[in-house]
């Protein structure tokens, strides 16, 4: 039997209820929630940017999952980008994007920063499942937010970039269709990664990495995220590496990386770019001289914003 959950939305949206869907039979499956209804007139001003924070998009094992919705002024429909924060899969929050959002709204792009289960709450593939669920939720509720369901991108920095690439490399399910009801070839139109790891495999394991390995000090975070040591679950390390998952149906990719990054080596992005090229997938690899891993939070860099705008408006 479904229950009713109530949330207080900001002034730009009316108080509304969120009806929870029945829990899925399979343990660990993210349950999508129905969006709060927005009246046709008066609730969201079309002449100014609209924001709804802490909107619940799902629930799993009693853990509610939230995203924020920021929509540009105007009738739309607008392209949209879902944003996945960094933090080594174990920490961080969607508020990481607050300073960057105005840059995207100014270009007519709706923004949906997403919170997902952290590795201390649930190991892989929990975070990936949540990010995929958020993409599906936004597509299902596109009309409510004046979003074009056929122009949805994902982006993130560091571990968030890894999650964005994992979404992009995930094969759509039978229910994933475009606005015409046609099956999707990929869950999103474009993916952007800033300093995101592409190969989590470790030297000395059964499946060694094909790219320069991540900094050794990151191994405890990777172990917590994947739920085991590389020598114990080498197949999981391979499965969770975007580099191993590329197909010809991969969406166009934007890979930004600092040439001075000593956390996620530049070779990780370069190996991913080459794999995409080999699969004849459109990829723009953008090396940034003088930048280290701090690039991972520079979401409002003009190069990043413009590249995403160009891809979404093609």
Give pLDDT tens digits for 119-166.
Answer: 999 999 999 999 999 999 999 999 999 999 999 999 999 999 999 999
Q: What is the CATH number of the domain that holds 161?
A: 3.40.50.1820
Q: Residue 181 domain-assigned?
A: yes
**CA-to-CA distance for 233 and 147, rounded, in angstroms?**
40
When divided into structural domains, the chain yields a total of 1
Q: Residue 52 domain-assigned?
A: no
Q: Residue 159 domain-assigned?
A: yes
Q: Residue 285 domain-assigned?
A: yes
What was the pLDDT predicted at 196?
Answer: 98
Q: Residue 7 domain-assigned?
A: no
Q: Residue 37 domain-assigned?
A: no
Query: Tens-of-pLDDT digits for all 314 residues of the chain?
Result: 333 232 333 333 322 332 333 333 344 556 666 543 333 333 344 557 889 999 999 999 999 999 999 999 999 999 999 999 999 999 999 999 999 999 999 999 999 999 999 999 999 999 999 999 999 999 999 999 999 999 999 999 999 999 999 999 999 999 999 999 999 999 999 999 999 999 999 987 778 899 999 999 999 999 999 999 999 999 999 999 999 999 999 999 999 999 999 999 999 999 999 999 999 999 999 999 999 999 999 999 999 999 999 999 98
What was the pLDDT predicted at 49?
Answer: 86
Sheet harboring 283-288: ordered strands across?
31-32, 50-60, 63-71, 110-114, 78-84, 147-157, 190-194, 253-258, 283-288
What was the pLDDT predicted at 149?
Answer: 98
**Residue pLDDT, tens place only, 9-34:** 333 332 233 233 333 334 455 666 65
Q: Residue 12 domain-assigned?
A: no
Domain encompassing residue 275: 75-312
Q: Residue 68 domain-assigned?
A: no
Is the pTM of the predicted complex or chain greater than 0.85?
yes
């Amino acid at each position: 039997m479904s229950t009713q959950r109530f949330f207080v939305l900001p002034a730009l949206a009316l108080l509304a209820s969120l009806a929870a869907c029945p829990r899925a039979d399979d343990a660990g499956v993210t349950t999508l929630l129905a969006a709060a209804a927005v009246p046709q007139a008066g609730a969201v001003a079309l002449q100014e940017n609209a924001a709804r924070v802490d909107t619940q998009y799902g629930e799993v094992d009693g853990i509610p999952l939230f995203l924020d919705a920021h929509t540009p002024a105007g009738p739309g429909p607008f392209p949209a980008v879902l944003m996945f924060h960094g933090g080594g899969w174990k920490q961080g929050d969607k508020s990481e994007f607050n300073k960057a959002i105005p840059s995207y709204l100014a270009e007519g792009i709706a923004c949906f920063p997403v919170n997902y289960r952290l590795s201390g709450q649930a190991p892989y593939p929990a975070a990936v499942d949540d990010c995929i669920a958020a993409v599906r939720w936004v597509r299902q509720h596109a009309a409510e937010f004046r979003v074009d369901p056929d122009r949805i991108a994902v982006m993130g920095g560091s571990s968030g970039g890894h999650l964005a690439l994992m979404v992009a490399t995930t094969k759509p399910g039978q229910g994933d269709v475009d606005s015409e009801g046609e099956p999707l070839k990929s869950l999103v139109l474009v993916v952007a990664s800033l300093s995101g790891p592409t190969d989590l495999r470790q030297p000395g394991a059964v499946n060694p990495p094909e790219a320069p390995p991540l900094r050794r000090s990151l191994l405890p975070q990777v172990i917590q995220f994947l739920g085991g040591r590389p020598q114990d679950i080498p197949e999981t390390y391979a499965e969770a590496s975007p580099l191993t998952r590329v197909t010809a149906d991969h969406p166009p990719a934007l890979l930004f990386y600092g040439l001075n990054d000593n956390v996620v080596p530049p070779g990780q992005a370069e190996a991913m770019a080459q794999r995409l090229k080999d699969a004849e997938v459109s990829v723009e690899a953008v090396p940034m001289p003088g930048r280290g891993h701090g690039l991972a939070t520079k979401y409002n860099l003009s190069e990043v914003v413009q590249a995403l705008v160009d891809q979404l408006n093609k």
